[in-house]
A = this chain, B = another copy of it.
């Protein structure tokens, strides 16, 4: 996230951390739940692994491309709004000046100084647009290349996360034993992931660990019950 020079940063997780968290949350949860669910319905590790890998392929592509498009559309949205503000300060400068003035009046700035601030803005159209983008619309200029990197990191994290619950089914012949091992390994992985995620996002680590573990457990439990009910 690009921040202008004078802006202090309290805490914001970096974009890469955010993308790893997005990919791995779902990667650890959904293939895990699907495999657990299927092993409650079909006693065949081969089918569980096939379904699991198909899910990982589908999920990583859907999430990766989804992330790519989200970042692209953020960038397009920013560019479109920026063009629009540029047009507005040329076509309806009076209204835009009034918008700036109103903002400062709301903050209790006296009239004479309001006009001075508005004057200063109008002399620097580029910074004026920047002010409107940041303050009025709350938008920051997106980083270039963000979309491609974001897609790769999300998809990679999803694949990595998804392979953890599936590995036991690849190595252990009995589906029931594999399920047990998969549940233990994945709940531990979800807790560790939650702890690390908490450290990076500023949440309390134990609370974060509890949350990821409970979500994964609930999803797997629901998938298991539904699959068993209809099989």
Residues of A within 8 A of B (CB): 4-8, 10, 25-26, 29-30, 32-34, 37-38, 41-42, 46-47, 49-51, 53-55, 57-59, 61-63, 65-66, 69, 73, 76-77, 80-81, 84, 99, 102-104, 106-110, 112-113, 116-117, 120-121, 123-124, 127-128, 131, 134-138, 140, 201-203, 211, 215-216, 218-220, 222-224, 226-227, 230-231
**Interfacial chain B residues near A215, Cβ < 8 Å:** 61-62, 65-66, 69
**Interfacial chain B residues near A55, Cβ < 8 Å:** 30, 34, 37, 55, 223
User: Could you tell me the distance in whole angstroms from the C-beta of A128 to the nearest C-beta in chain B?
Assistant: 8
Q: A30-B62, A41-B50 are in contact. List 5 more A-B contacts (CB 8 A).
A: A8-B136, A53-B227, A61-B218, A61-B219, A108-B120
Determine if B69 and A54 form an interchain contact, defined as CB atoms under 8 angstroms apart. Answer: no
**Interfacial chain B residues near A222, Cβ < 8 Å:** 57-58, 61
**Interfacial chain B residues near A109, Cβ < 8 Å:** 116-117, 120
Determine if B30 and A58 form an interchain contact, defined as CB atoms under 8 angstroms apart. Answer: yes
Partner of A54, one of B37, B73, B117, B123: B37
State A39–B22 Cα separation when bound (angstroms). 29
**Interfacial chain B residues near A84, Cβ < 8 Å:** 10
Among residues of B, the one whose C-beta sits closest to the C-beta of A22 is: B66
Determine if A99 and B8 form an interchain contact, defined as CB atoms under 8 angstroms apart. Answer: yes
Determine if A107 and B124 form an interchain contact, defined as CB atoms under 8 angstroms apart. Answer: yes
State A4–B136 Cα separation when bound (angstroms). 9
**Interfacial chain B residues near A25, Cβ < 8 Å:** 62, 66
**Interfacial chain B residues near A107, Cβ < 8 Å:** 117, 120-121, 124, 127-128, 131
**Interfacial chain B residues near A102, Cβ < 8 Å:** 6
